[in-house]
Amino acid sequence: MKCPFCGHADTQVVETRVAEEGLFIRRRRRCPQCDKRFTTYERPEVSFPAVVKKDGRRIDYDSSKLRASFALALRKRPVSTEQVDAAMERIEEKLLNLGAREVPSHQLGEMVMRELKKLDKVAYIRFASVYRSFEDINEFKTLVDEVRR
């Protein structure tokens, strides 16, 4: 790896450690040219499928959009950040396990709804009412009755 200080092309690894519960590797490196030390991190590169929107557009999967959807639905609800993180991890694991290069947005939306239903019924109804674009009160009532059962 190239030294960020002097640009020397060959640096030496002085120390290697597994960090953050095995999520990445931290390496301390030393440049033999300028004798300065620096840290690098190795993380696995995962490739999530592209999301195909209703209008046919394809966009890159963005975990911040998923987190924003959870945050909006769970606003002022008694659900911890850890629970949201776990739900997001389950969804992302499912996306990776699909092995597909593309996933329809409605499939991703259904995954979010299943997770919200487990976390908080009110958040589930909030999300579903927007996601399914209810046209009348009867559709909304049907969803509430389903949750009550």
Does residue 56 register a pLDDT over 80? Answer: yes
Q: Structurally, how many domains does the chain consist of?
A: 2
Do 63 and 133 lie in a common domain? yes
**Mean local confidence (pLDDT), 93-99:** 90
Closest CA to 113 of 76, 64, 147: 147
Pairing of strands 50-52, 102-104: parallel
Do 59 and 121 lie in a common domain? yes
Do 125 and 68 lie in a common domain? yes
Determine the residue type at 3. Answer: C
Q: Which domain holds residue 119?
A: 50-148
Do 99 and 137 lie in a common domain? yes
pLDDT of res. 16: 94
Do 25 and 59 lie in a common domain? no
Is pTM, for the whole model, over 0.75?
Answer: no
pLDDT in tens, 60-94: 999 999 999 999 999 999 999 999 999 999 999 99
